[in-house]
Amino acid sequence: MSGNAISIDGVAVAFEPGQTIMQAAEAAGVYIPHLCHHPEFAPHGSCKLCTVKVNGRNGASCTVGAQPGMVVENNTAELNDGRRALTQMLFVEGNHFCPFCERSGNCQLQAVAYFLNMTSPHFEHFYPPREVDASHPEVLLDRNRCILCELCVRASREVDGKNVFGIAGRGIQARLVVNSHSGRLGDTGLAATDKAVQVCPVGAIIRKGTAFRVPVGKRLYDQAPISEVGTHVTGQGHGKT
């Protein structure tokens, strides 16, 4: 291997100086499972789904910079077992009832779970009480499905310049909050076309009146896995970005 290249599962992958392992992998078309990473935003490193082995040690590939000659393991049984356990925890920490979720079939959490061949959530369910906010005329916020990836927080602050969302509390108390005097979405300047609405990887932020338009069988992840279809779907499954 010469120059700026790393190896991922034995395949040489070139990188530009300054790129993370995730960015190099994406440019080369190599899929590393992830949820809180989005190519248009700075790394967040919170979901740990993108964990790879870098020269024998675990690291979040969305935050670790690529260095010449790095040996990266990605699609291995051991790493995927760990990723599946993380995904199962995300399911039981929220209330994910896919059969009646507007995002089903276009949801990245669900698609990652399919990719990892997750057949059950394995852990005991928390069934946490979480609030739904339907106060905005065009956007629904269902915290039951929020995975706290902070993409909406980043998008609202950095792209929309509105600072509508935030995460409050720590650990199991962590929750998505809305920055308005009432704490309700209807009292913010959020617009349905905002980036914050489009980036949510799951069914937590939903554009009203757009759900269930695509029949089962034709949705984004119905026929092929997320590793082939891609991840960065705009808001309601209208295509990749």
Q: Which of 25, 66, 116, 146 binds ligand SF4 (CB under 6 A)?
A: 146
Report helix, strand or coil for 202: coil
Yes or no: say if 51 and 79 are a contact pair by the CB < 8 Å rule. yes
Output the smallest distance, CB 76 to ligand SF4, in A.
25
Report helix, strand or coil for 141: strand
Binder of residue 48, out of ligand SF4, another protein, ligand FES, none (CB less than 5 to 8 A by kind): ligand FES
Helix (H) or strand (E) holding 197: helix 195-199
Output the smallest distance, CB 236 to another protein, in A.
16
Output the smallest distance, CB 79 to ligand FES, in A.
13
**Residue number, 151 or 206, with CB nearest to ligand FES:** 151
Check residue 184 for interaction with ligand FES (CB under 6 A). Answer: no
Binder of residue 136, out of ligand FES, another protein, ligand SF4, none (CB less than 5 to 8 A by kind): none
CB atoms within 10 A of CB 55: 12
In 2-132, where does DSSP find H-type helix?
Answer: 21-27, 77-93, 108-115
Q: Which of 26, 93, 133, 150 binds ligand SF4 (CB under 6 A)?
A: 150
* Residues paired with residue 168 on neighbouring β-strands, in sequence order: 175
Yes or no: say if 84 and 21 are a contact pair by the CB < 8 Å rule. no
Cα distance between residue 191 and residue 137, in whole Å:
10
Residues forming contacts to ligand SF4 in the complex (CB under 6 A) are: 96-98, 101, 103-104, 107, 109-110, 145-152, 165, 176, 199-200, 202-205
Contact footprint for ligand FES (CB under 6 A): 34-37, 45-50, 60, 62
